[in-house]
Structure 1
Amino acid sequence: MKTNIMKTNFKFLAIIAFLGTFLYSCDSDDNPALNAPVISNFEYGEGSEHSTEQFAYKGSDIHLEAEINAEATVSSITLSIHAHDLEPGEGEVDWDFEKVYTDAKYLAINPTFHEHVDVPTDIPAGEYHIELTVTDELGNSTEVEGHIQIVDLIAISDFSIDESVARGNDFHVEFMIDAVEGIHSITVDVHAHGLTVGAGEVEWDYEEEFLGDYHEQTSVEFHEHIDVPATAPIGEYHVIFTVQDEDGNTKEFETHIDVTA
């Protein structure tokens, strides 16, 4: 008798287990796990042109765009821009940008990400790392990344100047200038600090603005000879070259030259 009862109970439990498995299987089929978002066609570049070339100018903005395929509603999109091993120069600061976007237009199925990010004027030029992370309401997330070059609006390169000059002669200076908005002017300032003015000498403080062949050029070589008066005191002089573009942006380059007898 007990044996029959045990067999009956065993069959009953087996049926219950089978039904539970069947019902769970059906429920799983009706509510399958949703995949993480997919990010495609991620593009970025100079903002004013909506460029896909991966560079942008300091003081302008970066255009960013991506298509998002999300099976569950997007809950946030995080954008990060930062540099590795770029040393800020004088007057420059590190730039580490991060923003979480939760605009209504992005909290949807399959949104398109489209933003413009301002680039500071006082950051180092060079390569920056971009990361875009999309998270859905189920906690699934996907990340894409890339790199962008941040470029100076005005760049000075291949700089050459005489190390010293005998007073009464001239010194030679040349360098390349690339100015996206065109050159307005180039100013040269030569001055000394704390030099004693001897007998027959006259303090020399030189400043001149150069226009001529340089005005409105976007790429040009600056090549000039600057006269040093025969009465200039002997010693070290500070030389500042300032390039101003047509939008009022400036770039300075500083050096020294020794005036000898």
Structure 2
Amino acid sequence: MNRNLFSILAIFSMALFVFVSCSDDDDFPAPVISDLEIGYDNSKVGYRGTDLHIDAEIVAEGRIDRIVLEIHHEGDHGHKSGQHDDHEWEFEYTWTEFSGLKNAKFHKHIDIPLDAELGDYHFHFKVIDMQGKVTEIETEFEVKNPENTNAPVITVTSAPSDGQVFHMGESITIAGTVTHEMALGGMYIGLVRADQNLEDADVNSSNTITLLHTHDYDSPTSHAFEATIVVGAEHDNNITPKPIDGDIAWQDAEYYILVKSRDAFGGPFGFSERYYIDIHMH
């Protein structure tokens, strides 16, 4: 009898030990996220056309199952219809590469589109462990245009010779490339009458004859161009061709061709040199 009782107590004690051990194993604290950095030096700023630096330390006693990041524009918080403005940027991704780890250094770079809407964004960073426990950090960061970008580089590969004479019906042509380190914006090539005395920055489609005006490029960072206009043409090559009359009407005069371009972020213009020619209408 005593032997049987001893056996029963031993089995009961072992079962209780296993139950307590399993319960202890399941009773891990939720994951801990520390030292979260958004943007370099935790500036909480990202720039269009670049990447967003994200860094965090993670400790999960219950072992990491997955890490989830969600980003959306502040104006889209709680938006459920699925209808978004063309330039609203959203990001959602789940990483499983850290699965099974208790400690992880999270370091990623997320591309911000060139046309991402400017302004404040919500940032949701979640760590889920293998027990289903979730730790989430919600914060905000701002998307801005890049600062201190360089002007586009304009390289002219073919142009009229200095002082070349063009007569009625002859074609004036210029060709070359324009490049930028991040993204090109607008580009304009104007035929300017020298006696207009315009500063290069003031040359535009309203006050000169347009050879080329575009915002469409071979790639975001480079474009090969060729622009031609015939002396005496009634309309120029503006995006919506305009009549060549009034203050910009053809004249017997000295002209020059100017190429100008700026980046997609409203930075400084780049300018070509002036290519001077003479136009004789008769």
TM-score by length of 2: 0.48
| Counterpart Cα distance in 2 of 1:131 and 1:114 | 15
| Counterpart Cα distance in 2 of 1:65 and 1:51 | 10
How far has the Cα of 1:205 moved from its partner?
3.9
- Alpha-carbon deviations, 1:56-94, whole Å to 9, x = none? 1100011101111111221110011111227xxxx9511
Over 3 Å counting, the alpha-carbon distance change for 1:146 and 1:24 in structure 2 is: farther
Show the counterpart of 1:121. Answer: 114
One of 76, 80, 86 as aligned partner of 2:70 = 80
Q: Which has the higher strand share?
A: 1
Show the counterpart of 1:181. Answer: 149
- Stretches of structure 1 that go unaligned for 5 or more consecutive residues are 1-15, 154-178, 192-203, 208-229, 234-241, 253-261
Show the counterpart of 1:151. Answer: 144
Show the counterpart of 2:50. Answer: 60
Task: Work out whether residues 54 and 108 of structure 2, in 8 Å CA contact, stay in contact via their aligned partners in 1.
Answer: yes
One of 250, 262, 269 as aligned partner of 1:244 = 262
- Alpha-carbon deviations, 1:79-132, whole Å to 9, x = none? 11111227xxxx9511110000011x4541111111100000111110011111
Task: Work out whether residues 77 and 132 of structure 1, in 8 Å CA contact, stay in contact via their aligned partners in 2.
Answer: yes
Show the counterpart of 1:69. Answer: 59
Q: Indicate yes or no: 2:93 matched with 1:99.
A: yes
Task: Compute the RMSD of aligned alpha carbons.
Answer: 3.7
Task: Work out whether residues 145 and 265 of structure 2, in 8 Å CA contact, stay in contact via their aligned partners in 1.
Answer: no
Over 3 Å counting, the alpha-carbon distance change for 1:186 and 1:74 in structure 2 is: farther
Amino acid at match of 1:61: D
Show the counterpart of 1:159. Answer: none
Identity over aligned pairs, percent: 28
| Counterpart Cα distance in 1 of 2:131 and 2:202 | 60
Amino acid at match of 2:139: G
How far has the Cα of 1:251 moved from its partner?
3.4
- Superposition pairs of residues 84-233 of structure 1, within 5 angstroms: 84-85=74-75, 93-103=87-97, 105-153=98-146, 179-184=147-152, 188-191=203-206, 205=208, 231-232=246-247
Q: Indicate yes or no: 2:21 matched with 1:30.
A: yes
Amino acid at match of 1:145: E
Over 3 Å counting, the alpha-carbon distance change for 1:38 and 1:148 in structure 2 is: same
Task: Work out whether residues 51 and 63 of structure 1, in 8 Å CA contact, stay in contact via their aligned partners in 2.
Answer: no
Amino acid at match of 1:65: D
| Counterpart Cα distance in 2 of 1:124 and 1:186 | 28
Task: Work out whether residues 47 and 144 of structure 2, in 8 Å CA contact, stay in contact via their aligned partners in 1.
Answer: yes
How far has the Cα of 1:182 moved from its partner?
3.4
SS of the counterpart of 1:122?
Answer: coil
How far has the Cα of 1:53 moved from its partner?
0.8
Amino acid at match of 1:93: H
Over 3 Å counting, the alpha-carbon distance change for 1:186 and 1:149 in structure 2 is: farther
| Counterpart Cα distance in 2 of 1:85 and 1:244 | 29
